[in-house]
Structure 1
Amino acid sequence: MTEWKEFSVTINNDAQEAVSAIFSDLGSSGVSIVDRNDFLHLPEYGFDTLWELDENKFPKEGAIIKGYFTQHDDLTYIENELRKRINKLPEYGIDLTHFHLDVLDVKEEEWSNAWKKYYHPVSVTRFLTIVPQWETYEKKDSDERILYLDPGLAFGTGTHPTTQLCIQALEISIRKEATVFDVGTGSGVLSIASALYGAGKINAYDLDNVAVTSARDNIRLNGLEDAITVEANNLLEGIKSKADIIVANILAEIILPFIPDAYAHLEEDGLFITSGIISDKKDQVIEELKKHQFDIVQVNQMNDWVAIIARKQNKENEG
């Protein structure tokens, strides 16, 4: 049985994505976020219906970001580096409040059982419901699509606003047989949703090999191996083909320099769907998209998070 160290950072919401990026850079085997806004501010969900958790365990201010490392990692270095990098965030214009770090021992089996106890079906839209693979669920409507998911260790469950915003954007954007690139696939939830909405071929990419394994497992769980290919890759480096839709639920700091590459990998009039954008950085991302010949089709917001649908300009309109 694998023994894990859970590094749990309590932090203000403005620093949430930066801390997540720090965890990833230090080699965390997945990152999870506990934010009471995700549950309290969505009309379909709540503590009684989704997670069955004690509300008092959620921070009244800020969020909890958790990273996971094994006993084989240099845990002293990771703890020191985590503290050092987080304390330097104000130098980059990120306010820092409520910062607290806890380190706990976690057994993989105990963690998995906790998921099975707390995670229940989530109706992300009228037409798509995410169901944990151990749950029995019957469709409420003939048009409803069921996306089965085994989150594994700290990978996306579809409950975070950024994931939901992307799924909603895919629902209105995908046309039959469209080609989709899912950049930073994580658990594979957006790739699977794309296939369920009728996309023809989906290529999913993630830099983290643990994420690649998680995504492949979930794709197999939904019987979509023929529709979705998963590869370990740094964004779209070295990829020669193009897509009708690129979806990227990643950090704004990664999205900004990635925009020209996304443009180059889209077919004419292709769509770039991106989230993971905190509302304070919305205007910066929109400005950069316009600078690189994208038309803004739609901007959607849920709590403090934003998703943007942008269209690659037709050559006749460029310049």
Structure 2
Amino acid sequence: MKWSEFSIHTTQEAVEPVCHILHEAGAAGVVIEDPHDLIKEWGVDLGEIYQLSPDDYPEEGVIVKAYFPVNDALAALIEEMKASITALGDLDIELGHNKVLVHEVAEEEWATAWKKYYKPVRVSNTITISPTWEEYTPSSEDECVIELDPGMAFGTGTHPTTVLCIQAIEKMITPGDSAIDVGTGSGVLSIAAAKLGAKDVLALDLDEVAVESAKINTELNKVDRQVTVKQNNLLEGIDGEYDFIVANILAEIIVRFVQDAARVLKPNGVFITSGIISRKKDEVKDSLLSHGFTIEEIVEMEDWVAIIAKKA
């Protein structure tokens, strides 16, 4: 089978929404080439467990590559994806060069090459994320390993927003907490919460592909009894009282359900939000404050922000 590589030169801010568009279009694999991964700092005790080659990365911006089977519908699909990506600018998302290149590749060329971008990464004091095909031995008894099959999304390690969320969960969660993960994606944050002591986690995502991926990953990590994965639009129709909510999605989406987060959280419940580009930090902060939250901490990595808030 022949495959087409759809490559777009964009910005770090646009990576997640661009990847979502490519997933929705049916990409059979996505590679993210972000030069920030070459200089990423995880803190004194943390670090990447592998070496990356600068030759694989652009000098600036981010290159996102997606792979599609070559067929009669491909030309129209490419034009649809270009239009959808360009429309992200209407959401005030900086697209950078927004330059697209398309060329054919042999199946064997892409089917294994992307694995060089995805290796075990220590992302917090106790959590290491490892792809399923890597042999990794924990360095201590208190180290938790999350195994992920990245499915339709492959990256160069772990996105800063995910790292910030996991570190915040590790800091704030109390064993026995009930939690919600809004926009769960691969399910990595739900798995982390369960491994760090949450008694039950409700993992929500509107995307059917994400729901199936999260189910597979929770089973793989043997937390499927603690984590319930469900297709749902944000917190619509969710009732009950929870100790903990985490949401790693765009700032524009977070502000839409802050009121619902306040509704389902217990008094003093924790709300961790990330996926926030630095210039939109105040927008999310103001929304949290206006709905009765207090800001416990704001943490940043590169151009990304996570906010830890509590319901008053």
Same fold (TM > 0.5): yes
Other structure's SS at 1:257 match: coil
Look up the match of 1:114: 113
Look up the match of 2:305: 306
Structure 1 residue 136: deviation in Å? 2.1
- Distance (whole Å) between structure 1 residues aligned to residue 222 and residue 108 of structure 2: 26
Structure 1 residue 214: deviation in Å? 1.2
Q: How does 1:96-135 map to 2 (within 5 A)?
A: 96-105=95-104, 111=110, 113-135=112-134
Q: Check whether the contact 2:31–2:114 (CA below 8 A) recurs between aligned residues.
A: no
- Distance (whole Å) between structure 1 residues aligned to residue 242 and residue 29 of structure 2: 27
- Distance (whole Å) between structure 2 residues aligned to residue 158 and residue 179 of structure 1: 28
- The 3 A distance-change label for structure 1 pair 223 and 97 is closer
Q: Provide the identity percentage.
A: 49
Gaps of at least 5 residues in structure 1 are 314-319
Measured on the aligned residues, the alpha-carbon RMSD in Å equals 2.9
- The 3 A distance-change label for structure 1 pair 75 and 134 is same
Other structure's SS at 1:253 match: helix
Between the two proteins, the alignment pairs up a number of residues equal to 309
- The 3 A distance-change label for structure 1 pair 185 and 32 is farther
Q: Check whether the contact 2:173–2:196 (CA below 8 A) recurs between aligned residues.
A: yes
Look up the match of 1:256: 255
Look up the match of 1:317: none
- Distance (whole Å) between structure 1 residues aligned to residue 68 and residue 262 of structure 2: 36
Look up the match of 1:173: 172
- The 3 A distance-change label for structure 1 pair 29 and 296 is farther
Q: Which moved more, 1:253-262 or 1:199-208?
A: 253-262
Q: Which moved more, 1:113-122 or 1:124-133?
A: 113-122
- Distance (whole Å) between structure 1 residues aligned to residue 72 and residue 183 of structure 2: 24
- Distance (whole Å) between structure 2 residues aligned to residue 203 and residue 245 of structure 1: 10
TM-score (norm. length: structure 2):
0.86
Structure 1 residue 70: deviation in Å? 5.7
Q: Check whether the contact 1:156–1:186 (CA below 8 A) recurs between aligned residues.
A: no
TM-score (norm. length: structure 1):
0.85
Other structure's SS at 2:197 match: coil
Q: Which moved more, 1:267-276 or 1:30-39?
A: 30-39
- Distance (whole Å) between structure 1 residues aligned to residue 241 and residue 88 of structure 2: 36
- Distance (whole Å) between structure 2 residues aligned to residue 99 and residue 207 of structure 1: 26
Q: Check whether the contact 1:155–1:187 (CA below 8 A) recurs between aligned residues.
A: no
- The 3 A distance-change label for structure 1 pair 133 and 64 is same
Q: Deviations over 1:231-273 (max 9, x none)?
A: 1111122222332111111111111112112111211211111
Look up the match of 2:148: 149
- The 3 A distance-change label for structure 1 pair 287 and 153 is same
What is the one-letter code of the residue matched to 1:271? V
Structure 1 residue 114: deviation in Å? 3.2
Q: Check whether the contact 2:34–2:62 (CA below 8 A) recurs between aligned residues.
A: yes
Q: Check whether the contact 1:177–1:200 (CA below 8 A) recurs between aligned residues.
A: yes
